[in-house]
Homo-oligomer: A and B are copies of this chain.
Amino acid sequence: MIHSLSLSDVLADHARSRPEVTAVVDGELRLTYPELDERVTRLAAALERLGVSAGDRVLWLGQNAYAVLELLLACSRLGAICCPANWRQSADELRFVLSDLTPAAVFWERSETTEQLREESWVQAGEEYERLIAEAPARDFPQVADTEPVLALYTAAFAGRPSAALLSNAALVAHATSLLVVRQMEPGFTFLNNGPLFHVGTMMFCLATLQIGGTNVFTPAFDPEEVCQLVDAERVTQAFLFGGMIDAVAKANAGGKYDLSSLRFVAHSAEWDDMITVDDSPWCRSRMGGYGQTEVGGMLTFLGLAEGGAGFAGRPSPLAQVRILAPDGGEVPVGETGEICARGKTLFSGYFARPDLNAEKTAYGWHHTGDLGRREPDGTITFIGPKLRMIKSGAENVYPAEVERALKSHPAVADAAVIGVPDPDWHQAVKAVVALKPGAEATADELVEHVRGVLAAYKRPRHVTFVDAVPKRGFTPDYDALDAAHGGGNYPGT
């Protein structure tokens, strides 16, 4: 296993190569890399005592804390899998996670829901957790292959219930390295973990900071004033901030009470740009982000690798390949819509205990993201929307997301959903269910003509129904309710 490099190995090397560097800051707690390494070894031994073996799951039910990183690293050392779950979920949702993941150990923080669910064997964060570490021996662990999964993050609620995406040590190390490249991270990088660690968006920067031997600062949740305090006190390089969060931080620091100049981040507003150091890395230089999902380790494409490109999602990570594929596995021509598919070093190892879904997601040897995209003539990628449903009109595939996007670009449309209704000639016909903006007017013919202007003719709705509001399930249309109310049916595969 000379080629293996797990998260545990990364930590073990930093303990030797960076003995004086602060690895973790959380409130009063400060740990150097050797201190973190020793605590992780003791924690791994403690997990073993709790009955956790290689391949077992360890669940964290709490807010952001240093313990999340320690548990993840201890699981890596042991060959186990750490799952930081969304602590804001309902008791029902958490019950599902517990029965789905069957964790060998659960660590919890006090909240209304955890109080309700807790069992005798659960370990409480704080004193009980610290006692566990203090009483465990520091002993050597054999090397664990980096192909083993180490992190589980719940996502992809396609069927109404989420699934746990498993990320291997190798995938996390590779993804972290891709961020080092695009964000041009260097030793000394200090990341403020103020976003939720059960989400890949925060976790990916936490792990990139670990990879380069930087400092991770933890705070339970986002508080603009506290962000200012921590940036000032810890000379933070980057925090988990975008849009309105940036405005809130800038507002909290109105008058320049705190020194935020250590932040090297994206330009946002004149006020903000004056407080921080506007960064020149590809990640920060123009538009931040790209296209990603938990199943690819975080980011699959980066805007910073495609400055001035036509596509709204940029170009692939240097450690991944992207193909736009048709349902038969063939490559779709440039400019046409297909499913965004991927291969590469950062990809996940499937969902925990979902063999059928996993087989479906890896059809033709490519990971199928479930999202639609398009390759632009300049090679950049445009993300169109989630595939979710497909309508079969004649021989053609029509993706509701694409038609909905077109409908919503009409100035009178507030919201729109598209379903397929049985059609004697075409098997299915496209039907649009549209909510207009208050006071706005548009006829069915006008909307059909509008769609015709931006999409191929076969994708245009043959029927349009106006409603006051499109029914939703979370952020997406409630297609089952729409089908029932508006005569949907005959979908391919049904």
> A305–B189 Cα gap in the complex (Å)?
12
Interface residue A453 (Cβ < 8 Å from any Cβ of B): no
> A396–B353 Cα gap in the complex (Å)?
55
Q: Do A184 and B187 have beta carbons less than 8 Å apart? A: no
- Answer whether A2 and B365 are a contact pair too, CB < 8 Å, given A187-B305, A318-B177, A323-B16: yes
Interface residue A413 (Cβ < 8 Å from any Cβ of B): no
> A305–B318 Cα gap in the complex (Å)?
21
Q: Do A5 and B365 have beta carbons less than 8 Å apart? A: no
Tell me the minimal C-beta distance from A163 to chain B in angstroms.
17
The residue from B2, B143, B322 contacting A17, defined by CB atoms under 8 A apart:
B322
Q: Do A343 and B4 have beta carbons less than 8 Å apart? A: yes
Interface string of A361-379 (1 = CB under 8 A from B): 0100111000000010111
Q: Do A2 and B377 have beta carbons less than 8 Å apart? A: no
Tell me the minimal C-beta distance from A322 to chain B in angstroms.
7
Q: Do A315 and B212 have beta carbons less than 8 Å apart? A: no
**Which chain B residues lie closer than 8 Å to A19 at the CB level?**
377-379
CB within 8 Å of B: which of A187-242?
187, 211-213
Q: Do B16 and A180 have beta carbons less than 8 Å apart? A: no
Chain copies in complex: 2
Q: Do B379 and A321 have beta carbons less than 8 Å apart? A: no
CB within 8 Å of B: which of A8-42?
9-10, 12-13, 16-20
Q: Do B143 and A3 have beta carbons less than 8 Å apart? A: no
Q: Do A315 and B379 have beta carbons less than 8 Å apart? A: no
Interface residue A337 (Cβ < 8 Å from any Cβ of B): no
**Closest residue to A345 on the B side, CB-wise?**
B5
**Which chain B residues lie closer than 8 Å to A101 at the CB level?**
none
**Closest residue to A301 on the B side, CB-wise?**
B17
CB within 8 Å of B: which of A290-312?
305-307
Interface residue A115 (Cβ < 8 Å from any Cβ of B): no
The residue from B5, B306, B321 contacting A320, defined by CB atoms under 8 A apart:
B5
- Answer whether A379 and B344 are a contact pair too, CB < 8 Å, given A3-B170, A320-B5, A362-B2: no
The residue from B2, B170, B318, B344 contacting A212, defined by CB atoms under 8 A apart:
B318
**Which chain B residues lie closer than 8 Å to A307 at the CB level?**
187
Q: Do A2 and B343 have beta carbons less than 8 Å apart? A: yes
Interface residue A440 (Cβ < 8 Å from any Cβ of B): no
| Number of chain A interface residues as a range | 35 or more
Tell me the minimal C-beta distance from A15 to chain B in angstroms.
9
Interface residue A485 (Cβ < 8 Å from any Cβ of B): no
Q: Do B212 and A17 have beta carbons less than 8 Å apart? A: no
**Closest residue to A180 on the B side, CB-wise?**
B181
Q: Do B379 and A20 have beta carbons less than 8 Å apart? A: yes
> A2–B380 Cα gap in the complex (Å)?
22
Interface residue A173 (Cβ < 8 Å from any Cβ of B): yes
**Which chain B residues lie closer than 8 Å to A177 at the CB level?**
177-178, 181, 318-319
**Which chain B residues lie closer than 8 Å to A305 at the CB level?**
187, 213
- Answer whether A366 and B2 are a contact pair too, CB < 8 Å, given A17-B322, A318-B211, A379-B19: yes
Give the interface centre of A4, A305, A318 by most chain B CB atoms within 10 Å. Answer: A318
The residue from B20, B181, B319, B381 contacting A5, defined by CB atoms under 8 A apart:
B319
The residue from B13, B17, B178, B343 contacting A9, defined by CB atoms under 8 A apart:
B343
> A319–B344 Cα gap in the complex (Å)?
16
The residue from B17, B143, B320 contacting A379, defined by CB atoms under 8 A apart:
B17
> A249–B22 Cα gap in the complex (Å)?
43
**27 A-B contacts (beta carbon < 8 Å):** A1-B343, A2-B343, A2-B362, A2-B365, A3-B171, A3-B344, A4-B343, A5-B343, A9-B321, A10-B321, A13-B320, A16-B322, A16-B323, A17-B315, A17-B381, A19-B379, A20-B378, A173-B345, A177-B178, A180-B181, A181-B185, A186-B282, A187-B305, A187-B307, A187-B315, A211-B318, A212-B318
Interface residues of A (CB under 8 A from B): 1-5, 9-10, 12-13, 16-20, 143, 170-171, 173, 177-178, 180-181, 184-187, 211-213, 281-282, 305-307, 315-316, 318-323, 342-345, 347, 362, 365-367, 375, 377-381
5 new A-B contacts at CB < 8 Å, known A177-B178, A187-B282: A10-B321, A12-B321, A13-B320, A16-B375, A173-B319
